[in-house]
Amino acid sequence: MRNTLSILAVLVLLGGCTSLSLQRSQGPVPVAVRIDDAAYWLEEWQRTLSMPDDALQRTLRARELDFENDPGPRSRLRLALLLGEGKKPVRDQSRALQLIKDMDRSKASDSARALAALLEQSIGERLWAGEKITTLRKELKDARARIEELERQLQELTSIEQSIQDRTKP
């Protein structure tokens, strides 16, 4: 009973400081406390989606400053999450992807590595899709130009055929 009260007291104290997740564990201690950075970062990201553009820009500058001061996995992922999945005014998916690729995953927590892998895949697929759309739009434009040219040639041939038929009629 005393251990349970001690654990609850620690949870209450830590709960005011940071986001925690509880995880049941096997063995004599019924509950294990684990700080889950990725869940906290996702909550932060969710809050940025409703921010006005000026507050969003300030948040971006703060995250960039945090990253400059400490370029470790935590600040790198927070910045990459905002750049890769944030609203349009701050979105820079190429930069976010580079931040993730340059991350030293050996220094990151398990949840940070999982989030990095998910972000890398998601951003990579969106960038690939954007490039594919650009390629297809160019091909469509070229095809339309070719169709117009063929229609023009068909019209010219029809005119030539009509003039030949008019000459052969007595």
The per-residue pLDDT for range 80-122, each reduced to its tens digit, is: 999 998 888 899 999 999 999 999 988 888 888 888 999 999 9
For residues 56-63, average pLDDT: 93
Q: What is the reported pLDDT for 28?
A: 55
What pTM, to 2 d.p., does this model score?
0.64
Do residues 17 and 66 share a domain? Answer: no
Tokens 């971006």 found at:
60
Interatomic CA distance for residues 95 and 104, integer angstroms: 16
CB 119 within 8 A of CB 85: yes
Do residues 21 and 4 share a domain? Answer: yes
Residue type for position 62: A
| 141: number of Cβ within 10 Å | 10
List phi, psi (to 5°) of 26.
Answer: -90, 150
List phi, psi (to 5°) of 104.
Answer: -80, 95
CB 49 within 8 A of CB 87: yes
For residue 2, give its domain range: 1-35
Give a yes or no: residue 137 inside a domain: no
Do residues 12 and 45 share a domain? Answer: no
Look at residue 43 and give its three-state secondary structure: helix
Do residues 16 and 62 share a domain? Answer: no
For residues 61-88, average pLDDT: 92
Interatomic CA distance for residues 102 and 78, integer angstroms: 14
Give a yes or no: residue 167 inside a domain: no
Do residues 64 and 81 share a domain? Answer: yes
Confidence of residue 30 (pLDDT cuts 50, 70, 90): low
Strands 31-35 and 20-24: antiparallel
| 63: number of Cβ within 10 Å | 22
Do residues 71 and 89 share a domain? Answer: yes
Do residues 73 and 3 share a domain? Answer: no
Do residues 49 and 110 share a domain? Answer: yes
Interatomic CA distance for residues 73 and 105, integer angstroms: 7
Do residues 30 and 83 share a domain? Answer: no
List phi, psi (to 5°) of 101.
Answer: -65, -30
